[in-house]
Amino acid sequence: MAGTNSEFPIDVQGKFKRGLKLDPTNPKLSAAQKSGLQSNIELFRDAIVLFTATGAARGVSGHTGGAFDTVPEVNILLSLFESSSEYVPILFDEAGHRVATQYLVSALEGHIPFEQLLHYREANSKLPGHPELGLTPGVKFSSGRLGHVWPWVNGVALANKDKTVFLLGSDGSQQEGNDAEAARLAVAQNLNVKLIIDDNDVTIAGHPSEYLKGYNIGQTLAGHGLKVVTVNGENIEELWKGFVEIIAHKGPAAIVCKRKMAPGVAGIEGSTHGHDVIPVKNAIAYLTSRGYPESLSADILNNIKPYALPYLYIGSTKENAATRVQFGESVVKVLDTLSKEEAAKKVMVIDSDLEGSTGLKVIHQKHPEVFVPSGIMERGNFSAAAGFGFDKDKYGVFSTFGAFLEMIISELTMARLNFCNVLCHFSHSGVDEMADNTCHFGINHFFADNGLADTQSFLYWPADAAQMDAIVKRVFFDKGVRFIFSTRSKTPYILKEDGSRFFGDDYEFVPGKDETIIEGKAGYVVAFGDMLYRSWDAVLRCRQEGLDVGLINKPTLNLVDEQTIRKIGASPFVLVVESLNQKTGLGSKFGTWLLERQLTPKFGYMGTNKEGCGGLTEQIPHQGLDPQCQSPLPLLPHPQLE
Ligand SMILES: Cc1ncc(C[n+]2csc(CCOP(=O)(O)OP(=O)(O)O)c2C)c(N)n1
């Protein structure tokens, strides 16, 4: 059998050595304990390489290196949990992307079959990119936003004062300000929280020792008052001694495990490539070097094909482009109009370890004079951008994933009260192609419109890369805080009825102005961003069926265009279609806007309404937001319109 119908070809269940009792008062491992642990470590690592590589093969990526790294401490913890009831027996992990560990342990504990692991990150496999409590049998907590777990684990320790709570940490997660607060509380309350931190000097965009000079986990935690032991994480005897020390210490303590990212894995060792998923060829080479026949992994991995939803949308081009990448290109164009000295004086672009994902990389390459590479510290980085833009002639640029907009809401209020100029780019907005799943959904963007009625905020979401270019060009040097959203997925270019580009060379973006893609007498669909081309397809199909539906693009999400709302409000129906949270998005406002103007068309709205299904192209249909989900008149039979 080949591909994912195979049996799991490594006998983890059979070979895993149970009953390796560890005595935390004895710093010396017996020969049997040492060899047992070593054998379990190798087994875990082989399994992780194999099944995470299925994510690479099916094109949904995944994270191999982090989970691979922490295997020694995970195995020590599993043995400790087996040895005594003094511990909360959960492998809490503040770096949720290392979810492969949780899934492997779930299989080992018999909650899911091992074969399921070969469907890692596949849509509807219940094995999404981060652990989600309640979704995957055997998964015991949710994690995925860095910096969010340690403070919460402090609470677990407060609720379990008679036990010790362990937390797997990472040099990425420890950069978050939340962890500093958590350290202070843990020390002040003398909590029995023990961290085992994988200090591999790799995150997504680079090496902390290079982009975050002065960052030292051991010194930081010791400074807060934790007991800190630093060990070579690849030396099992040293690591165990570290455990003995931190367990003996009454109160919060940490082991800082120094190791290379993905030690011993040719092709990804020590590199940022190890953060993401191991390429198939490296996985096959690794497993072959470990003594397995090449066919064991090759038969599976070479027979998995990426899945794409085949659908040809009408009203847009076959060609796709990433609006998130375009953001960076467009900023470069603006900066190109300034001298380097002028640019450096006027503009500061700060990254949060995601420059390759949010489109900032090209700014780093072409305009290093404005660029500040920074750590996984969204709140601090946003505020630094705001502080730079405190001078009325200076402009900060900040960017991260849309999900983390929720993190900077308070900082945003203070930036607004200080009249700061900040351009915020939140990529990976909405849910499209979000294999990282629910914790990475960027769906609460209206939270950014949190000023009072006497202040203006600007939330922009371009429908294609050409509109992104026009928006950046128009608003870059506007005053105040401005938000531009983009998706992880690529989007096609919107076409006019005559087949030319809607956002062509003669297009000029006007903030606050809605754009009529097509007039209609039967009613109007209002959409924006990645939902515009989908809605345009649905509207055109309705029109083919003889229903004269119109379509409005609303690139400025939060401002009412009086002319347009009066036009569409006087039509028989208005349907808002978006990939933002149905509870907090445009649809949740639009009904009020209509009623305030005594406009009472039939009104409906549809947006993201449930937790994700994993996978890539499956996320939008899963939310019922793709035109092909509905038939024969895709959008109209929505219950709220009846
Ligand atoms: C709050 C937050 N910001 C950003 C991210 C995106 N992100 C996921 S993993 C990662 C880097 C993590 O580095 P580390 O935790 O050291 O993991 P390793 O590279 O060792 O696997 C980043 C920036 C996130 N998940 N959460």
Task: Please write the tens of the pLDDT for every residue from 342-379.
Answer: 999 999 999 999 999 999 999 999 999 999 999 999 99
Least Cα distance to 131 among 94, 96, 170 occurs for: 96
Task: Examine the fold and report which residue of 301, 330, 352 is the final residue of a domain before the chain moves on.
Answer: 301
Contact 432, 488 (CB under 8 A): yes
Assigned domain for 306 exists: no
pLDDT tier, 5 (very low <50, low <70, confident <90, very high otherwise): confident
Average pLDDT, the chain: 96
pLDDT, average across residues 455-474:
96
Q: Whose CA is nearest to atom 25 of ligand 1?
A: 145
Distance 552 CA to ligand 1 centre (A): 37
Please indicate whether residue 97, judged by its CB atom, sits closer than 6 Å to ligand 1.
yes
Distance 208 CA to ligand 1 centre (A): 12
Cβ count near 227 (within 10 Å): 18
Please indicate whether residue 233, judged by its CB atom, sits closer than 6 Å to ligand 1.
no
Least Cα distance to 112 among 121, 125, 93 occurs for: 125
Q: Dihedral (C-alpha) 166, 170, 174, 176: value to the nearest 10 degrees?
A: -110
Instruction: Name the pairing type of β-strands 481-485 and 458-460.
Output: parallel
Residue 292 sits in the same domain as residue 359: no
Residue 37 sits in the same domain as residue 76: yes
Distance 277 CA to ligand 1 centre (A): 13
Name the amino acid, one letter, at 424: C
Residue 212 sits in the same domain as residue 359: no
pLDDT tier, 636 (very low <50, low <70, confident <90, very high otherwise): low
Please indicate whether residue 203, judged by its CB atom, sits closer than 6 Å to ligand 1.
yes
Contact 20, 37 (CB under 8 A): yes
Residue 633 sits in a domain whose CATH number is 3.40.50.920
- In sequence order, what DSSP letters do the residues of 584-631 get, joined into one string? TSTHHHHHHHHHHTT---EEEEEEE-S----SSTTHHHHTT-SGGGS-
Rounded to whole angstroms, the Cα distance separating 109 from 384 reads 46
Tell me whether the omega of the peptide bond preceding residue 279 falls within 30 degrees of 0, making it cis: no
Distance 170 CA to ligand 1 centre (A): 9
Instruction: Tell me which DSSP letter residue 290 carries.
Output: T
pLDDT tier, 200 (very low <50, low <70, confident <90, very high otherwise): very high
pLDDT, average across residues 153-173:
98
Going by C-beta distance under 8 Å and a sequence separation of 6 or more, which residues neighbour residue 6?
115, 118, 299, 300
Backbone φ and ψ for 639, nearest 5 degrees, come out as -55, -35
Q: Locate the ligand 1 atom nearest the alpha carbon of residue 204 and give its number.
A: 11
Distance 282 CA to ligand 1 centre (A): 22
Which element (helix H / strand E) includes 219? Answer: helix 217-224
How many helices (H) and strands (E) would you count in the chain?
23, 18
Please indicate whether residue 404, judged by its CB atom, sits closer than 6 Å to ligand 1.
yes
pLDDT, average across residues 90-100:
98
Please indicate whether residue 357, judged by its CB atom, sits closer than 6 Å to ligand 1.
no
pLDDT tier, 629 (very low <50, low <70, confident <90, very high otherwise): low
Distance 98 CA to ligand 1 centre (A): 10
Task: Examine the fold and report which residue of 485, 505, 528 is the final residue of a domain before the chain moves on.
Answer: 485
Q: Whose CA is nearest to atom 22 of ligand 1?
A: 204
Distance 218 CA to ligand 1 centre (A): 19
Going by C-beta distance under 8 Å and a sequence separation of 6 or more, which residues neighbour residue 35?
none
What does the block give as tokens for 429?
Answer: 């907005």
Contact 617, 309 (CB under 8 A): yes
Q: Whose CA is nearest to atom 16 of ligand 1?
A: 172
Alpha-carbon separation of residue 470 from 366, 557, 623 (angstroms): 20, 16, 30
Rounded to whole angstroms, the Cα distance separating 70 from 38 reads 13
Please indicate whether residue 439, judged by its CB atom, sits closer than 6 Å to ligand 1.
no
Please indicate whether residue 629, judged by its CB atom, sits closer than 6 Å to ligand 1.
no
The reported pLDDT for the residue numbered 412 is 98
Residue 222 sits in the same domain as residue 327: no
Contact 233, 69 (CB under 8 A): yes
Residue 271 sits in the same domain as residue 412: no
Tell me the per-residue pLDDT of 243-275, one tens digit each, with 9 for 90 and over: 999 999 999 999 999 999 999 999 999 999 999
Residue 433 sits in the same domain as residue 463: yes
Contact 139, 92 (CB under 8 A): no
Please indicate whether residue 260, judged by its CB atom, sits closer than 6 Å to ligand 1.
no
- In sequence order, what DSSP letters do the residues of 66-121 get, joined into one string? HHHHTHHHHHHHHHHHHH-SSB----EES-GGGTHHHHHHHHHTTSS-GGGGGGTT
Distance 143 CA to ligand 1 centre (A): 11
Assigned domain for 397 exists: yes
Assigned domain for 491 exists: no
Count up the domains in the chain and report the number: 3
What does the block give as tokens for 547?
Answer: 């229903």
Tell me the per-residue pLDDT of 16-45, one tens digit each, with 9 for 90 and over: 999 999 999 999 999 999 999 999 999 999
Please indicate whether residue 316, judged by its CB atom, sits closer than 6 Å to ligand 1.
no
pTM (2 decimals)? 0.96
Residue 456 sits in the same domain as residue 521: no
pLDDT over 80 at 437, yes or no: yes
Please indicate whether residue 615, judged by its CB atom, sits closer than 6 Å to ligand 1.
no
Q: Locate the ligand 1 atom nearest the alpha carbon of residue 272 and give its number.
A: 19
Contact 131, 139 (CB under 8 A): yes
Q: Locate the ligand 1 atom nearest the alpha carbon of residue 147 and give its number.
A: 1
Task: Examine the fold and report which residue of 430, 465, 485 is the final residue of a domain before the chain moves on.
Answer: 485
Tell me the per-residue pLDDT of 479-531, one tens digit each, with 9 for 90 and over: 999 999 999 999 999 999 999 999 999 999 999 999 999 999 999 999 999 99
Assigned domain for 45 exists: yes
pLDDT over 60 at 1, yes or no: no
pLDDT tier, 639 (very low <50, low <70, confident <90, very high otherwise): very low
Residue 360 sits in the same domain as residue 462: yes
The reported pLDDT for the residue numbered 550 is 97
Assigned domain for 502 exists: no
Assigned domain for 507 exists: no
| Range of the structural domain that residue 597 is part of | 513-641
Assigned domain for 494 exists: no
The reported pLDDT for the residue numbered 309 is 74
pLDDT over 90 at 627, yes or no: no
Residue 369 sits in a domain whose CATH number is 3.40.50.970
Going by C-beta distance under 8 Å and a sequence separation of 6 or more, which residues neighbour residue 223?
none
Contact 325, 359 (CB under 8 A): yes
Least Cα distance to 24 among 82, 91, 67 occurs for: 82
Distance 173 CA to ligand 1 centre (A): 6
Least Cα distance to 418 among 460, 443, 451, 371 occurs for: 451
Assigned domain for 496 exists: no
The reported pLDDT for the residue numbered 311 is 78
Please indicate whether residue 442, judged by its CB atom, sits closer than 6 Å to ligand 1.
no
Please indicate whether residue 36, judged by its CB atom, sits closer than 6 Å to ligand 1.
no
Residue 95 sits in the same domain as residue 207: yes
The reported pLDDT for the residue numbered 479 is 97
| Pick from 384-388, 401-405, 420-424, 624-628: least confident | 624-628
Residue 90 sits in the same domain as residue 215: yes
Tell me the per-residue pLDDT of 201-221, one tens digit each, with 9 for 90 and over: 999 999 999 999 999 999 999
| Pick from 89-98, 201-210, 229-238, 622-631: least confident | 622-631
Which element (helix H / strand E) includes 248? Answer: helix 236-248
Mutate to test the pocket of ligand 1, among 145, 146, 381 (most ligand atoms within 8 A of CB): 146
DSSP three-state, residue 550: strand
Place of tokens 């973006």: 509
Distance 604 CA to ligand 1 centre (A): 38
Q: Locate the ligand 1 atom nearest the alpha carbon of residue 145 and give its number.
A: 26
Residue 289 sits in the same domain as residue 325: no
Nearest-5° Cα angle at 275, 166 to 81: 20
Cβ count near 95 (within 10 Å): 28
Please indicate whether residue 169, judged by its CB atom, sits closer than 6 Å to ligand 1.
no
Rounded to whole angstroms, the Cα distance separating 585 from 608 reads 9
pLDDT tier, 3 (very low <50, low <70, confident <90, very high otherwise): confident
pLDDT, average across residues 278-285:
98
Residue 435 sits in the same domain as residue 290: no
Please indicate whether residue 262, judged by its CB atom, sits closer than 6 Å to ligand 1.
no
Tell me the per-residue pLDDT of 539-589, one tens digit each, with 9 for 90 and over: 999 999 999 999 999 999 999 999 999 999 999 999 999 999 999 999 999
The reported pLDDT for the residue numbered 149 is 98
Least Cα distance to 94 among 200, 185, 176, 163 occurs for: 176
Please indicate whether residue 172, judged by its CB atom, sits closer than 6 Å to ligand 1.
yes
